[in-house]
A and B are shown apart, each in its own frame.
Chain A
Amino acid sequence: MTFVTPVLNYAQLAPILIVLAGAVIGVLIEAFAPRAARHSSQLFISTFSLVAAFAALMTVRNQSSVDAAMGSVAFDGAAVLIQASILIISFLAIFLIADQENFTAMAAAVPGSEEERQSLQKDLRVTEVYPLTLFAVAGMLIFPIATDLITLFVALEILSLPLYLMAGLSRRRRLMSQESALKYFLLGAFSSAFFLFGIAYLYGYSGTITLSGIQESIVGGAGNDIFLLMGIAFLSVGLLFKVGAVPFHAWTPDVYQGAPTAITGFMAAATKIAAFGAILRIFYVGFANAEWQWKPALVVIAIITMVFGSVVAITQRDVKRMLAYSSIAHAGFLLAGVIALSKSGLDSSIFYLFAYGIATLGAFAVVTLIRDSAGEVTDLNRWSGLGKRSPLVASVFSLYLLTFAGIPLTSGFIGKFSIFSAAYESGSTAILITGVLASAIAAFFYIRVIVLMFFKDPVEDGTSVVIPSALTTITIAVSATLTILLGVFPAPLLNFIETTAFFIR
């Protein structure tokens, strides 16, 4: 056996490498820098590496190749778009994370212990969250560009492991936070196992682990179709778990609720983009010719995901759980784009992902602002009358709710319109009808929150809106502006996506 020296195209890998380097530096700071300097330097390193990665990505945006890393990753228009979205959203998310109020000072301390009390007393600040975030971002950057199943799996783990930890970092209600982290970890481990199992079957089917190789085998008709079917099924389970599609959604509400809100926002927005980026690539590149093996199942999953997410969200009393179920419903809408299996399906999915990610991050950013003496208030009943006390915050939150509901002149409407057109164009009438009905159901609970905020009288229990820090303000302002801008003038971005988004095989 000869060992080939790997040839790497460093320019195209630069964004990933920069983020990883930032993460490593972050770990070093954590180990060696004095405590007082840690927070500011971590914040600087994180934002700097994300900006640098974005700049690096822009310099290579017109290139495309499959051999950036010996055929393990594909670098193409779709990859650039998805990576850029992830970087922008992570950049905004870092600003939220910088608001340290929400994180426990010492993650290792047992909740309620003397140790924890002391750490709070000394006002220690947790800063390992920054390198963890960067590691997760690096995983997310690799996930949607991986073209062989092993790289895909490695990326999945790189992005997941830090998220498991970050979910447990909440300062308030630590037991709940830790429970959610453990739940996320266990279920995530299961789904990883399914994923690996799928890889094994696909290898058995085609004798290769590259997506293009699998596609060739499908075209050639070689091998046992049972293996292909099981491979696709198991692989899909792993992927659908990550995006929270029914029936693999069970973790979503608990984790969204338990995790620190800034992390929830990051997780909901960026993970979804990365995971759907990967799903799109796998199904469009790898399994496109085996359409009939997976499309019917995926249609059913999309339909129940849309309906289930919308219906269950109605009964929620907690704003974070409600947003979790709404994100499940949105996963269903996004699956419609995967099912479309066409150029317009790809375009609309990317637009939708970006628009949804931005709005989600903004929505969770607003949630971090509503607090009482014991931390964030997520009970919806206590949000009533918010419009009276702080009209601006309530209006911005309503804007996000309206974009989730898909009201015209918001980005969500354009996204929904384009993704449903793509689905209908490819013949999925059922998806169109269910999607529209699910949107109608979903509108009900979004509107209910607006009613609560604007038309109910405030309850007097100390719930208040904190003055947002400058960084949080930036995040909210940017995401609100983008949400309106993409709703009113979506043409530039849509055109850009249309001309750029393609997969190379």
Chain B
Amino acid sequence: MLLPLLGAILISTLPKNKSNYAKWVALLTSISVALLGLLIALRFEIDRPGFQFVENYSWIPSFGINYAVGVDGLSLVLILMSVLLTPVVVLAGWNESEGGRWSAKVFYILILVLETMMIGVFAATDVFLFYVFFEAMLIPVYFLIGGYGSGERAAAAVKFLLFSLFGGLLMLASIIGLYVISSKNGGATFDITELSQMHNYMSSTTQNLLFLGFFIAFAIKAPLWPLHTWLPDAAASGTPGTSVLLLGVLDKVGTFGMIRFCLSLFPDASKTFTPVIIVLAVISILYGAFLAIGARDIKRLIAYTSISHFGFITMGIFAMTTQGHSGAILYMFNHGFSTAALFIVAGWMIARRKSSTIADFGGLQRVTPVMAWSFFIAGMSSLALPGLSSFVSEFLVLVGTFTRYPVAAVLATFGIVLAALYILIPVQKALHGPTTPGNENLPDLNLREKFAVGPVLAIIIALGFYPAPLLNVINPVAAQVIESQGFADPVPSESAGK
């Protein structure tokens, strides 16, 4: 986990004019982190409940704060996603840092620092430590958007930061509340396992308030309608690489937090708010889809589709069924990769055409076949075509929701229909048809770019056909969370997704 940080320090010692070294160091560091992540995944014992690879050091003993990290199935999946995406981002955005306010060196330092914090935030088993990573993560992203993006990047960066800080502070208030309750009931602690017993000591009002503090923070992160307004700006202004990390990984912190904290810390409050949240999730699905259909800017389009997808994830989480849960977790993973592929390819298209308006593209299939096919596959994955990874997860979410909230599931299904529209329209406009003037001489992907997007597409296709390895990791976690909520699956069903 500390490896990316070491890489960042190494880069900062490099001389300024050798920006190529910085790129290589960043690439090698992130690849070795990814390999380490895979190693951990291989050594992970699926059948053992609780956290594994636990490290625990006392950090601030007077508040009972520990530097405690560990992984369970949920965090393993997300960490794996983060560490796999980072090298892709580094490789894909080889020249992205040019045209930024600062040198390439700073760009890669920020990326690697961000990677450290992403791993930390998913691995933290101490609520305080989680919060520290959660908030500190904002700073590198803020500078990445504000320093290297395009358009109204400064304004977008500030909007992002303020939304997140506001949510973070609400969460801080809730964390303080939890801490005080724990110190009155058997010793101050921030340990997630111990804190999950605390709901027995709370009145329902307290629990509801504390739940809201956490939930609003995560809903801003995840972006759930109506707290999503920062996302399109931030995603459209960031470099493609930044947007991949922002949408692919950072926003997952929101949905991750809902499972890890909202559900397990405040089971009763979660039940109370479930109907409201399901409604918000359905609105997000449809609203995001409609906006995406209307979007002219390709980066905004992807951002809106994400809002729709996050609606699915949230719905799956709060449907309180094992399938819904497994689907939501798998969806987080898949969404990371399909969005990454979309953003990366879109970034290349924009860089080549010097425009991000969809209407400016056309006939790319003929000029740049490899790029066009990559975009096509990523887009199909995003609309959950069977055989590609998102299909399994979206299906699971819908099935899981249907058993409990049929109306919501039916409405959400319209989201899929809309998804077909919002993906197929740009695909048709940009890839097919006559080659529009100005596009005739666009170069196709070079070797580096092929190497960057290839693995992502491979994962998308592989998981579409054979999701079992991941589901084996995810299912026990999902079952455990549901069980701890005191829910049973309403309809006896076969083990999901096999």
Contact = CB atoms under 8 A, between A and B. Distances in A.
Interface in B136-150: 136, 138-139, 143, 146-147
A443 B162 contact: yes
A405 B142 CA distance: 15
Nearest to B166: A440
B172 interface: yes
Contacts of A433: 173
Q: Which of B58, B135, B169, B177 has the most CB of A within 10 A?
A: B169
Contacts of B153: 455
A448 B158 contact: yes
Given A388-B101, A417-B176, A424-B177, A409 B132 contact: yes
B129 to A, nearest CB: 10
Interface in A419-474: 420-421, 424-425, 432-433, 436-437, 439-440, 443-444, 447-448, 451, 454-456
B273 interface: no
A420 B101 contact: no
Contacts of A418: 63
A315 B14 CA distance: 41
Contacts of A436: 169-170, 172-173
A448 B161 CA distance: 11
Contacts of B162: 443-444, 447
Contacts of B101: 387-388, 454-455
A472 to B, nearest CB: 25
Nearest to A427: B180
A88 to B, nearest CB: 21
Given A424-B176, A436-B172, A444-B162, A455 B62 contact: no
Interface residues of A, number: 36
Interface string A355-394: 0000000000000000000000000000000011001000
Contacts of B166: 440
Contacts of B62: 347, 491, 494-495, 498
B180 A407 contact: no
Contacts of B176: 417, 420-421, 424, 432
B132 A432 contact: no
Nearest to A441: B166
B180 A421 contact: yes
A440 B169 contact: yes
A162 interface: no
B95 to A, nearest CB: 21
A281 B169 CA distance: 31
B135 A407 contact: yes
Interface in B96-148: 101-102, 131-133, 135-136, 138-139, 143, 146-147
Q: Which of A388, A432, A454, A494 has the most CB of B within 10 A?
A: A454
Given A408-B135, A443-B165, A455 B177 contact: no
A455 B63 contact: no
A495 to B, nearest CB: 6
B183 to A, nearest CB: 7
B179 interface: yes
A444 to B, nearest CB: 6
B61 interface: yes
B60 interface: yes
Nearest to B60: A491
Interface string A473-500: 0000000000000000011001100100
B154 interface: yes
20 contacts: A402-B139, A413-B132, A420-B173, A425-B183, A432-B173, A432-B177, A433-B173, A436-B169, A436-B173, A443-B165, A447-B158, A447-B162, A451-B146, A451-B154, A454-B147, A455-B101, A456-B154, A491-B60, A491-B61, A494-B62
Given A418-B63, A432-B173, A436-B169, 16 more contacts: A405-B165, A407-B135, A407-B138, A409-B132, A420-B173, A424-B180, A432-B177, A436-B173, A439-B169, A447-B158, A447-B162, A455-B101, A455-B153, A455-B154, A494-B63, A498-B62
Which 6 residue pairs are nearest across A and B when measured between Cβ atoms? A455-B154, A408-B132, A436-B173, A408-B135, A494-B62, A436-B169
